[in-house]
Structure 1
Amino acid sequence: MEIYQRIFEDTPDALLVIDQAGHIVLANIQAETLFGYDRSQLIGQPVEMLIPTRFTRHAEYRARYIAEAHSRSMGGTTELFALRKDGSEFPVDIMLSPLILQSHHLVLCVVRDITERKAAQDELAQQTTELLRLHAELELLANHDGLTGLYNWRAFYEYAGQMLKTAHRRQENVTLLMLDLDHFKQVNDRFGHPEGDRVLQAVAATLKAAARENDIVARHGGEEFIVAALGLNEAESHVAAERLRAAVANIENLKTRITTSVGIATLAPQAQKHETTRVLAELLDQADQALYAAKRNGRNQVCHFNRVADIASPAA
């Protein structure tokens, strides 16, 4: 028996033997060191003295385990904590094994302090959270314009391409609305670039608010913006463009009134599937032609590509 006693005493983990009533009947020297009690202070005491009081149902769980004893290995998913004599809590890993000694049903409890391991896990979790946050920020920066918060050209190209594929699958129209602020250079020249930035931010927020929820709104570059919309025919796209034009014209609290010209291009449902990049480039070119037709016709107005040929007025 001496060899078993030496194993019990010299094992690197704290060992406790618990009887059916939940009292400690044996404890090794590691248990004394870990919990801060002399062995004499542990023997005969309920094991709940080593459990934080916030775990109010431990006695119930312990009784249930003793009634249906089974081995419980270390490394469980539940976070466990123990209580030292000085009142401090610390994280532990616990292994339970049923014992039968001289017809007495007992439980061997192996307790391991995992403070360092948990600290390392918590640090790793914190680092992972920070990396995810930084990744999200980088993703946001990669897809959004830094000044206005709208999608940038790269993101627009990707999402508009997806919209074209969806339109082909559903056999629906796709419409591009290209907007260019009228005489924007004069804003920068008269009031400075900070005011120009305020104008761009105000216009971006206005377009985002005025567009439909599923429309793609992006900054095309400089003072140009673009909106991609699904399911609008020519007449409906004209109404949508007028809504955006009017919303920009009604922006308040700027140093000068801002207006915008809008060019529209609509792609009708296609019987055959076409290369998305080429189709999008053609739509952009048509919207651009319609936009400059609107500018030539006096600015602060809307022009659809299908009506470009009807506009022959000189530039205003």
Structure 2
Amino acid sequence: MEYAPQLASLRDMTENEQVIRSLYAITSSYEQSLQQRIERLLQLGCQRFGLDIGILSHVVGDEYKILYHTAPEGVPLSNGDCFSVQRTYCIRALTAKGPVGFEHVAQSDFATHPAYKDFGLESYIGAPVMVNDEVYGTLNFSSPNPSHKPFDLIDIDALQLMTNWIGTEITKDMALQELSLSNQKLKKAEAILAQVVEVAPACIIMINENGDIELVNQETERMFGYGRDELLGEKLEILLPLSMRGSHAGMRNQFMRNLDSRIMAGRELFARKKSGEEFPVEIGLNSVKAEGQSWVLSAVIDITERKRYENEIIGQKKMLEQVNELLATQANTDSLTGLFNRRVFFDKLTNLLDLFTAKSKPISILLLDLDYFKQINDTYGHNKGDQVLKELAIHLKAQARDSDLVARYGGEEFVIVLPETDQLRANRTAERLCKKIEAVDFGCPVTVSIGVATLSEASPTKLLVDDFVEQADQALYASKIAGRNRTTHFQDVAQNES
């Protein structure tokens, strides 16, 4: 990609920041439903791309279904409308497995497409929405009018941000629905079990005032593994863990002395089978009186499965927390290289300038541009170009100090912030990087041009950030004009101009 003028770069930065801020305002509005946030995102997309119609679709086989849309009044679209995906422009995005856009269909060979004949759409930009690494549908924007400007990398980045967020939110929503369904099933199972226990309990044990077992049912035999004759006449403690038997006898006697005020339900504890296996149960107690005698009726439920469900729910909650952590990471890093993104670079540079200018210590930045990157893409393919960018990021990170900040500035441009580094050391670092990168075997010729700028005097931070980056940008431009694969410091540019 050829060098873009500095003013355009600053404009692109502002547009990127506006898109990110607007998208953040929408995605962080958790008081709104997912549908409301998606509809706001569709409106943002129409505004961002200057198009009239925004659609989030779900594609299954050949069916293209409109889930949500925004469009001017009079446009015959409704949520739930279905079309053949082959008769939509989205088939191009799905086939390409990435963003696709065109500004004026009538002036292209795409004018014969069924979507143009059916809907008369002149401009379109769209991309697949991925859920769990599979195509879920598309996010697309279109208009019956030609686009007033060509779609550029900023448009693609904005669209990718939107599709990434939608894919993540749909994934989270599906997980929450599954979790809710599991909870509903669990509650229903517990309700049914409670009714069964109340009417015909699965396990019934009745003891007399002395704690002797006088009645059990078949489920008691099955649950605990004892025969009926083995239990009748035994103390209740035979069904408790060994560690509880001694203390429980005293508590049982106290309970029996206050039966009228000692009704217990829903208590959880561990029981013990004949085999010695301990397992969790929920127990409900009630008193029965007749002919001057008292008994305690125990309804016992094995809650092993419920505990397993509870543990699964805890695990799913942790999974959702991890998803949120991942989203926070994605907001701060470049998805291709793993480096900090442009937004983080400006935030951290502002903070560093506050710190280092207050201490009157120098700070330098290196703005790097991968030379002839367009030729690499054209000659070796875009996959190779992406691989070169990722490997270059690894080498830049490896050469940096712990205190340095390495970020992807945009496209094939990278930036390195060097705290407490004066002009001489910054120049040496830049020259070393040039030589190191040229010596690396990328599988194709790779060199970089570097612009260097240094600040050594305190100035208002609000003015310093833009001016500082612009100085490095001018120096980078000088390196490219001078033949590439070299470094230039802004001071040299300034001296030549004077």
Q: TM over 0.5: same fold?
A: yes
Aligned equivalent of 1:37, options 218, 226, 235: 226
Structure 2 match to 1:274: 461
Structure 2 match to 1:179: 368
Structure 1 unaligned regions, length at least 5 = 1-9, 18-23, 52-57, 96-108
Q: What does the per-residue CA deviation read over 1:35-91, in whole Å, with 9 as the maximum and x for residues that have no partner?
A: 35356535657958754xxxxxx64x8769999xx99x9999xx9754434676533
After TM superposition, the score normalised by the length of structure 2 is 0.46
Whichever residue aligns with residue 444 of structure 2, its letter is T
Q: What does the per-residue CA deviation read over 1:208-242, in whole Å, with 9 as the maximum and x for residues that have no partner?
A: 11111232211111110011222112122222222
Structure 1 match to 2:343: 154
Displacement of 1:165 in angstroms is: 3.2
Q: What does the per-residue CA deviation read over 1:151-210, in whole Å, with 9 as the maximum and x for residues that have no partner?
A: 221222233333333334554333221000112222122222222112111111110111
Structure 1 match to 2:137: none
Structure 2 match to 1:264: 452
Which secondary structure does the structure 2 equivalent of 1:220 belong to? strand
Whichever residue aligns with residue 290 of structure 1, its letter is A
Displacement of 1:14 in angstroms is: 8.1
Q: What CA distance in whole angstroms lies between the structure 1 residues aligned with 2:214 and 2:354?
A: 71
Displacement of 1:285 in angstroms is: 0.8
CA RMSD of aligned residues (A): 4.3
In structure 2, the CA distance between the partners of 1:124 and 1:307, relative to structure 1 (3 Å rule), is same
Query: Does the Cα contact within 8 Å between 1:14 and 1:112 map onto a contact in 2?
Result: no
Structure 2 unaligned regions, length at least 5 = 1-198, 256-263, 285-297
Say yes or no: does 1:292 pair with 2:470: no
Aligned equivalent of 1:226, options 402, 415, 422: 415
Which secondary structure does the structure 2 equivalent of 1:163 belong to? helix
Displacement of 1:116 in angstroms is: 5.0
In structure 2, the CA distance between the partners of 1:295 and 1:115, relative to structure 1 (3 Å rule), is same
Query: Does the Cα contact within 8 Å between 2:239 and 2:271 map onto a contact in 1?
Result: no
Whichever residue aligns with residue 148 of structure 1, its letter is T
Within 5 A, what are the aligned runs for 1:2-151?
A: 29=216, 32=220, 35-37=224-226, 41-42=230-231, 50-51=240-241, 59=243, 81-85=270-274, 90-92=279-281, 113-115=302-304, 117-151=306-340
Q: What CA distance in whole angstroms lies between the structure 1 residues aligned with 2:446 and 2:395?
A: 12
Query: Does the Cα contact within 8 Å between 1:35 and 1:50 map onto a contact in 2?
Result: no
Q: What CA distance in whole angstroms lies between the structure 2 residues aligned with 1:110 and 1:40?
A: 20
After TM superposition, the score normalised by the length of structure 1 is 0.68
Displacement of 1:269 in angstroms is: 4.7
Q: What CA distance in whole angstroms lies between the structure 1 residues aligned with 2:214 and 2:430?
A: 81
Q: What CA distance in whole angstroms lies between the structure 2 residues aligned with 1:279 and 1:158?
A: 13
Q: What CA distance in whole angstroms lies between the structure 2 residues aligned with 1:75 and 1:266?
A: 71
Whichever residue aligns with residue 288 of structure 1, its letter is D
In structure 2, the CA distance between the partners of 1:35 and 1:65, relative to structure 1 (3 Å rule), is closer
Say yes or no: does 1:302 pair with 2:487: yes
Query: Does the Cα contact within 8 Å between 1:211 and 1:244 map onto a contact in 2?
Result: no
Q: What does the per-residue CA deviation read over 1:108-158, in whole Å, with 9 as the maximum and x for residues that have no partner?
A: x99774435423422321221221222233223222222212122122223
In structure 2, the CA distance between the partners of 1:262 and 1:65, relative to structure 1 (3 Å rule), is farther
Moved more, 235-244 or 115-124: 115-124
Whichever residue aligns with residue 424 of structure 2, its letter is A
- Figure out how many residues of one structure are paired with residues of the other and give that number: 276
Whichever residue aligns with residue 91 of structure 1, its letter is P
Whichever residue aligns with residue 279 of structure 1, its letter is L
Aligned equivalent of 1:198, options 381, 387, 399: 387
Aligned equivalent of 1:242, options 431, 436, 458: 431
Q: What CA distance in whole angstroms lies between the structure 2 residues aligned with 1:233 and 1:74?
A: 75
Which secondary structure does the structure 1 equivalent of 2:461 belong to? coil
In structure 2, the CA distance between the partners of 1:90 and 1:211, relative to structure 1 (3 Å rule), is same
Query: Does the Cα contact within 8 Å between 2:350 and 2:461 map onto a contact in 1?
Result: no
Structure 1 match to 2:146: none
Q: What CA distance in whole angstroms lies between the structure 2 residues aligned with 1:147 and 1:293?
A: 28
- Percentage of matched positions with identical amino acids: 37
Moved more, 214-223 or 240-249: 240-249
In structure 2, the CA distance between the partners of 1:128 and 1:160, relative to structure 1 (3 Å rule), is farther
Q: What CA distance in whole angstroms lies between the structure 1 residues aligned with 2:353 and 2:212?
A: 75
Structure 2 match to 1:100: none
